[in-house]
Amino acid sequence: MRDFLLTFAQILEKAMEENAKYYETYEENLLQEMLRMCTSLGMLDGELLNSEDIDQKWKEWAPEYIAEALPEVNTYPEFAIACAGYAGMAVAQWWDEDWGRHHGTSYEALHGPRGFDDMDEFIVQNILGLTLDSVDAKQIMNILLCCAQKATTFIQHEHIEAQTIKAFHIFARTVKVMFRIGAALQLKRLGYKFHKVELNRDGRKLLS
């Protein structure tokens, strides 16, 4: 019996490792596909502009975002995914403006008058400071819609049964990628560029 339990535990552990690898591969493939698309449209330069501060904010906000977005997936899948991109742009904007003041900002600060339902427009107008009919706003809305459509196609290709644990994890990975892409797009708009950082033997940074 003890040998059986040990074998079962080993099988379970291996299955969990395989699942984790599957989700990581899905996330990386989606990220690279979005990077290629955004680069081909002139919105990025082939690299993911990012910051540990910005990525950490997603870890903080992800449970609240997913709780709000999941109920919208069946009816408005692209909107449920795209809003994570707008959230990423908002955080990148705050990070550039004054992170010391904004690093503790709550997730609710992204909400518009109708809460999650008009988060996209609220972020564009009130955080990015653009009018909805401006060229920049239309460009942002278009690229995030394209990314959301790409993500939706990716999810469909996985042939995942709805309302399953696997479906939840895939959605969580998808909106994480969307958030990071949104942040990268805004950092690019703000003039940031990618610099490769290497460490020499003394642990000092070498930029190239």
Q: Mind listing the pLDDT tens digit for each residue in 17-71?
A: 568 899 999 999 999 999 999 999 999 999 999 999 999 999 999 999 999 999 9
Upper half-sphere CA count for residue 27 (Cβ side, 13 Å): 17
CA 171 to each of CA 55, 101, 102: distance values in angstroms, whole numbers, following the listed order = 17, 31, 27
Q: Is 170 within 8 Å of 35 (Cβ atoms)? A: no
Q: In this structure, what DSSP letter does residue 18 have?
A: H
Per-residue pLDDT, 85:
98
Mean pLDDT of 96-121: 95
- With bands split at pLDDT 50, 70 and 90, how would you rate the model's confidence at 116? very high
Domain ranges across the chain: 2-207
Q: pTM of the prediction?
A: 0.86
Per-residue pLDDT, 3:
44
Q: How far apart are CA 205 and CA 191, in angstroms?
A: 22
- With bands split at pLDDT 50, 70 and 90, how would you rate the model's confidence at 10? very low
Q: How far apart are CA 180 and CA 191, in angstroms?
A: 17
